[in-house]
Chains A and B, each alone.
Chain A
Amino acid sequence: MPKTLLRLRVNGEDHDVAAATHKTLLEVLREEMGLTGTKHGCELGECGTCTVLVDGQPVLSCLALPIELEGREVTTVEGMAVGGRLHPLQQAFAELGAAQCGYCTPGILLTARALLAENPKPTRQEIRTALAGNLCRCTGYTKILDAVELAALRSTGGEP
């Protein structure tokens, strides 16, 4: 299959990549660009671990085609920490032990980031609803919800 040359904007930088059109964003990120922070799980849209942000909205990279994303802004988990400083969500997840095996974590961090960008002080139910598409096999979710609440609290000035 011939490769197509694409310009993708990922984590604030333009990248020229050559990939066959039927390669998903997940495959291109991991296999062509070496960005392995985005995880592959079910690859059928059922688990959410491959979540990335496109123009700030959570989407599943296992079902997205790069050719449809030219000119859009893609954010992966590698783009969350800025200048070596963890994003408040990453900090809270680490402090509260909201990751066990960590496989679901990149997708959850990005989905939560999109939530907080739109709704800086979500209720617990709003966090649950936003994270409904991200499955975790380890934590039982309680600590994940706690960590998103903590990050929200800190980001809105209520530092505990």
Chain B
Amino acid sequence: MLRLPPFAYLGARTVGDALQFMRDHGGDAMLVAGGTDLYPNMKRRQFEPSVLVGLRGIRELGGISGSAESGFAIGSQTTLTRVAEHSGIRDAFPALATAAGLVSSPQLRNMGTIGGNVCVDTRCNYYNQTYQWRKAIGFCMKKDGDICLVAPSSRRCWAVSSSDTAPVLWSLGARVRVHGPGGERVIPIETLYRDDGIDYLAKRPDEILTEIVLPPVNGTRCAYLKLRRRGSFDFPVLGVAVALRIDGDRVLSGRIVLGAVAPQPREAREASALLAGHRLTPELIAAVAEAASKPSKPLDNTDFTHPYRKKMTRVFVTRALRRLAGLPDSPRNDAEVADR
């Protein structure tokens, strides 16, 4: 059997408890919410903390408040099932409900939290393997080794950001509330991420993500499309999040954020800029999709071939924009497979 390494478990009831436990145990402790990412990793010996500080018992962090007009506050311990089924979120920000509902499987969504999804570890074919597998191949620098097995001349790790909700939250202009030993701060979600497969979060390990803050909906229309191998459940091989503010038939501003193409969600800035002030015509969509596929530079370290994943970036951005424009997906791409 694949068993967890031994640890002591400290269940927090308040954010203060959790901060205190983390302070008491320093670098030996890790935070855990649903554990659906951390426990498999611990079973594969990617992490062996001697203390786990459990966040699920913090009642005040499990729920959604607010409205489309005022924006929403989502507690970090809210399960993905609740985010996916929340009627206010479904109406105001359908892309977020869709993304949460496409994470993993029904059982895992009952256990996994949105906070854990935002902080989920990066993934790589050479990393998400058992200890024995990794040992046999000589380990890599993300854990236990010193080279990158995907890009051996690289001095850094390219493991892939695999969160479904993070690109959507970024496209919507969400902010996150983070509590740490020095107090609390509210930061734009894009500043939570770093372009490094190992150190992928720009926060200290003892800082706790407590809340996700969504802005007022204010005419935003959004979509999320996910490419994965199996339709039943699978990690994203590509995620495309699009959020547009539209006035009449013109786009006021737009944001396109790609998931699973880099160690952090990647905003397609050039492509997003092309949208502002224009009508969403098939020609504009084609130009935007072409521009959006440029920052998509997948490496050969997840499922499917990386040239295919790059090509699908263009296809999925086209499809997402055409849906928001009320056009059929694409006259040319009918044969290609998508989840939604």
Query: Which A residues contact B (CB, under 8 angstroms)?
Result: 1, 20-24, 27, 40, 43-45, 48, 51, 57-60, 63-65, 67-68, 111, 129-130, 132-134
User: A133, B107: Cβ atoms under 8 Å?
Assistant: yes
In the complex, the answer to whether B7 meets A68 with C-beta atoms within 8 Å is no
> Given the complex, which residues of A lie within 8 Å of B54, measured CB to CB?
68
A111 to B5, CA, bound (A): 29
Chain B hits for A132, CB < 8 A: 105-106, 232-233
Partner of B111, one of A20, A21, A60: A60
CB interface residues, B 48-74, toward A, < 8 Å: 54, 56-57
Additional 13 contacts, C-beta under 8 A, given A24-B4, A68-B56, A130-B106: A1-B6, A20-B6, A27-B1, A27-B3, A40-B1, A43-B1, A44-B2, A59-B110, A63-B40, A64-B35, A111-B107, A132-B233, A133-B108
B253 contacts chain A at the CB level, 8 A cutoff: no
Contacts of B7 in A (CB 8 A): 21-22
B36 adjacent to chain A (CB < 8 Å): yes
B295 sits at the interface (CB 8 A): no
Q: Indicate if the CB atoms of A57 and B110 lie closer than 8 Å.
A: yes
Considering only CB atoms, which chain A residue lies closest to B34 in the complex?
Answer: A63
Q: Which residues of A contact B232 (CB under 8 A)?
A: 132-133
- Known: A65-B35, A67-B11, A132-B232. Is A22-B6 also a contact (CB below 8 A)? yes
Select one of B40, B56, B104 contacting A133, CB under 8 A: B104
- Tell me the smallest distance from the CB of A123 to a CB of chain B, in Å: 16
In the complex, B9 has a CB within 8 A of chain A: yes
Q: Provide the residues of chain B in CB contact with A64, threshold 8 Å.
A: 35, 111
Interface residues in B115-134 (C-beta closer than 8 Å to A): none
Residue among A27, A45, A134 making CB contact with B104, cutoff 8 Å: A45
A67 and B106 contact, CB distance less than 8 A: no
Tell me if B8 counts as interface (CB < 8 A to partner A).
yes
| From A20, A23, A133, contact of B105 by CB (8 A) | A133
Give the CA-CA distance A68 to B9 in the complex, in Å.
Answer: 9
Kindly state whether residue B39 has any CB partner on chain A within 8 Å. yes
Task: Check B2–A45 contact: CB distance below 8 A.
Answer: no
Q: Give the nearest-CB partner of B230 in chain A.
A: A132
Write the chain B residue with the least CB distance to A55: B110
CB-CB under 8 A from B104, the residues of chain A are 45, 133
B106 touches A58 (CB 8 A): yes
Closest to A129 in B: B106
A58 and B2 contacting across the interface, CB-CB below 8 Å: no
Q: Does B43 contact A (CB under 8 A)?
A: yes
Determine the distance from Cα of A63 to Cα of B54 in the docked complex, in whole angstroms.
14
